[in-house]
Amino acid sequence: MNNCIFCQENRFVNNLKVGFTLSESLIYENEYIFVTPDLSPLVSGHLLIVSQNHYNSFAEAPVKVQDALQRAIEYIHNNLYCEKITWFEHGAVFPGKGGASIDHAHLHVLPYDLPVQKAVEADDRFSKKVPFSKDIFHRLAKRQPYLWISNGFDSSSIYYVDILPSQYLRDVVMNLQGRKNYNWKSNFMKEESIRKYKETLEKIHLRGI
C-alpha cells in the first residue's frame, strides 16, 4: 500500500481531518505539478509546489516537470509575493535522506526574505555549494541528496548533503523566527496552523493564482 500523502490516492486526507475542502486545498494544478497551502505553515502564505507523480525529488523528475516547477515559482513570485520570497527543497534522492520527511518531490515557498542559506552555510553538515543549473540537477538525480534554496527567482543554490534531521529546513526557518516546535506532523491540527492556513487562503484569493 502506498502511504505517501502527496500521491493521488492519499492526497488531502489530512486537510479533510481539519475541515478543509478540496477547493480550499488545491490552489492550482496541471498535468505535472499542483500548488497547495502548507498544512502546517511556517508563516502565513506558506505554499507547496508538488509533483503530480511520485519522484523522490525534483532532480529525479523529468524535464517537463522541472520546467513546470520553475514556471510555478516564477508565477508565485511575480503575481502573489512580488517583493520578497524564499523557497527551498529537501532533495531526498534516496528515501529518508536530505532532511525530507516525505519522499515525494515538493518545494516550499515563503513570502519572506529569510537568511536560510546563511544559516545552512554555518552548519558543517553540507559538503559543497554550487549555483543551480539544469545540468547539475540532472546529475544529482539518484546520486546525491541536496538542499535547493533561493531568495528570489533569478538565482538559487544547491547544497550537497547526506544525512540530515527530518524537516531540517523547517527547523532552520523556525529558529530564524526565534520559535520551536517545527514538526508539521504534530502541529497541523493545532489552532495556530489552522489560522495561518486560512490567512494563506485569504492572501491567495486577494491576489489570485
Q: Which three cell numbers stand for residue 5?
A: 500523502
Q: Which residue from 123, 110, 132 is spatially nearest to 164, judged by alpha carbons?
A: 123
pLDDT tens for the chain, 209 residues: list them: 478 999 989 999 999 999 999 888 999 999 999 999 999 999 999 999 999 999 999 999 999 999 999 999 988 888 888 778 999 999 988 877 788 889 899 999 999 999 999 999 999 889 899 999 989 998 998 899 999 999 876 679 999 998 899 899 999 999 998 887 678 888 888 999 999 999 999 888 766 55
Length of the chain, please? Answer: 209
C-alpha–C-alpha distance, residues 100 and 111, integer Å: 21
C-alpha–C-alpha distance, residues 102 and 3, integer Å: 10
Over its C-alpha atoms, the chain yields an Rg (Å, rounded) of 16
pTM of the model: 0.94
Q: Residue 146 is which amino acid? A: Y
